[in-house]
Chains A and B, each alone.
Chain A
């Protein structure tokens, strides 16, 4: 340690000048902001629930099942996604489709979001483009593990996010919650 540093005083003053400069510069920006200069920002904070940072268009968010024209799922219950899923969080029960040209459809399509790792393999694997992760919804939570299981009906009801990345569907209410 150098002799000058042993006295702390110079280093302490240098530090105080740095932090003090930050304080007064930011304070000036805050005041300018309050007085109407909206481009002056004294902090880098994004005030999350009200303000969102723009997400990448490639963001993998909550899954949705794509619908056909008549509203039934495009999914043909080929089990590709269930097979490829590394977290084994997809559970499909196949059923006969009323239309003879379509072989199968899922009678159940559950995703356990408590297990899901959001790798997007299910979207990659799907031959029918029936599952996508473009809803833009990130805030889903539950008081129980059961509540994290999203069913076919919930996933079918979701819409893709808008072009600005803002979700258009409300966050689905899990089964264990009423509000």
Chain B
């Protein structure tokens, strides 16, 4: 009983640590990656002096997230006079909570067998995992809308409205583009989808979502980036025009909105990995070891296979985050009307087209390949 509880706790703790650490680290990644892309060095001044010595530890600026946190926690926590007190205080927590909760049903590995126990490597096992992640991602926008409305500031209200509009646009495109994947793999359970991607197409291509559903991948990634509310889709913020929904926030509450964006980045990267990059699958790695298409095989112990799978999942998530950061620091921002047009007249019809195409292919094939 206690052991069961411990196992569940461990699964949840792993996911929490994974996403929280990655989210915190992303502030550093954002600074350093953008700097290196732009021939700069990036933040590297925050340092810790080893006590009783003159050695300053800088470690590539890795202490900057820490310095940021200390700074934000010690700043004034400002409450506007006409703000709605409860909603104003609640909004950042809502944002961060749903960002954290969304990752729960994303599998980070296949099952782990210890003795006669079978532990699914997933915080919660849900047979509607895809829907759960979407629900949490869209609920996250409530925090933003609450912030915009309760601030008693017109600019914040505009930001909140734009966030809602953008989220609906992105959600529709995400939901429609995902349908192709769901049709192909025949399940709404992310673990089932990840397992099904272990198969081989024509005997040698891993049956990852990016191979079977390339159009859906592009549509999903675009809409997913829109769902994170970051440049190029930063209408809710719009620093250059309306400042955004967090205009009245200061201190750590402001920091929590920034963190929620990073958490959503991790969630979208995790979801893309599970749906299109094979999740925890390593090509040609099966339960008992590698089995290559040219016939040779390498046997591996179960624990090592599980570790490889978790490692592969983490690696893919990091690569996805890298790509999303690359996009964020390459593209200029869309105007509000451009983003709406892209969402409703671009992504949405193309996703419907993708559903029709997928259906046609599946019909012609007779059964799922």
Q: Is B40 an interface residue (CB 8 A)?
A: yes
Chain B residues with CB under 8 Å of A26's CB are 36-37, 39
Contact residue range for chain B?
A: 10 to 19
B330 with A15: CB separation less than 8 A: yes
B36 with A27: CB separation less than 8 A: yes
Chain B residues with CB under 8 Å of A44's CB are 39-40
- A19 to B342: give the CA distance in the assembly, Å: 23
Smallest beta-carbon distance A42→chain B, Å: 7
Chain A residues with CB under 8 Å of B37's CB are 19-20, 22-23, 26
A43 with B330: CB separation less than 8 A: no
Decide yes or no: A16 and B35 within 8 Å by CB, A9-B218, A45-B41 being known contacts: no
Nearest B residue to A34 via CB reads B60
Chain A residues with CB under 8 Å of B329's CB are 19
- A8 to B341: give the CA distance in the assembly, Å: 13
B40 with A16: CB separation less than 8 A: no
Q: Is B38 an interface residue (CB 8 A)?
A: yes
- Chain A residues touching B, majority SS: helix
A16 with B39: CB separation less than 8 A: no
Chain A residues with CB under 8 Å of B326's CB are 16, 19-20, 23
B41 with A47: CB separation less than 8 A: yes
Smallest beta-carbon distance B346→chain A, Å: 8
Smallest beta-carbon distance A115→chain B, Å: 32
Which residues of A in the span 6-51 have a Cβ within 8 Å of any Cβ on B?
A: 8-9, 12, 15-16, 18-20, 22-23, 26-27, 30, 42-45, 47
Smallest beta-carbon distance B342→chain A, Å: 8
Over the window 7-45 of chain B, the binary record of Cβ atoms lying under 8 Å from chain A Cβ atoms (1 yes, 0 no) is 000000000000000000000000001011111110000
- A27 to B322: give the CA distance in the assembly, Å: 14
B330 with A16: CB separation less than 8 A: yes
B33 with A45: CB separation less than 8 A: no
Which residues of B in the span 305-361 have a Cβ within 8 Å of any Cβ on A?
A: 326-327, 329-331, 342
- A26 to B327: give the CA distance in the assembly, Å: 18
Contact of A45 among B40, B330, B331, B342 (CB under 8 A): B40
Contact of B41 among A18, A22, A43 (CB under 8 A): A43
Nearest A residue to B327 via CB reads A16
B331 with A43: CB separation less than 8 A: no
- A124 to B66: give the CA distance in the assembly, Å: 52
B327 with A43: CB separation less than 8 A: no
A22 with B331: CB separation less than 8 A: no
Query: Which one of A8, A9, A23 has the highest number of Cβ atoms from chain B below 10 Å of its Cβ?
Result: A23
- A48 to B81: give the CA distance in the assembly, Å: 43
Chain A residues with CB under 8 Å of B331's CB are 12, 15
Nearest B residue to A30 via CB reads B36
- A42 to B41: give the CA distance in the assembly, Å: 8
- A23 to B32: give the CA distance in the assembly, Å: 10
B218 with A22: CB separation less than 8 A: no
Smallest beta-carbon distance B350→chain A, Å: 10
Nearest B residue to A8 via CB reads B342
Query: Which one of A26, A27, A30, A44 has the highest number of Cβ atoms from chain B below 10 Å of its Cβ?
Result: A26
Smallest beta-carbon distance A130→chain B, Å: 41
Nearest A residue to B338 via CB reads A8
- A8 to B338: give the CA distance in the assembly, Å: 12
Nearest B residue to A23 via CB reads B37
Chain B residues with CB under 8 Å of A20's CB are 37, 326
A22 with B327: CB separation less than 8 A: no
- A45 to B33: give the CA distance in the assembly, Å: 15
Nearest B residue to A21 via CB reads B37
Chain A residues with CB under 8 Å of B40's CB are 43-45
Smallest beta-carbon distance B138→chain A, Å: 25
Q: 5 tightest CB-CB pairs across the interface, nearest first?
A: A45-B41, A19-B330, A43-B41, A15-B330, A23-B37
Q: List 28 A-B contacts (CB under 8 A).
A: A8-B342, A9-B218, A15-B330, A15-B331, A16-B327, A16-B330, A18-B330, A19-B37, A19-B326, A19-B329, A19-B330, A22-B36, A22-B38, A22-B39, A23-B37, A23-B326, A26-B36, A26-B37, A27-B36, A30-B36, A42-B36, A42-B39, A43-B35, A43-B40, A43-B41, A44-B39, A45-B40, A45-B41
- Excluding A16-B326, A23-B37, 14 further A-B contacts by CB distance (< 8 Å) are A15-B330, A16-B327, A18-B330, A19-B326, A19-B330, A22-B37, A22-B38, A23-B33, A23-B326, A26-B39, A30-B36, A42-B39, A43-B36, A43-B39
A residues contacting B by CB (< 8 A) are 8-9, 12, 15-16, 18-20, 22-23, 26-27, 30, 42-45, 47
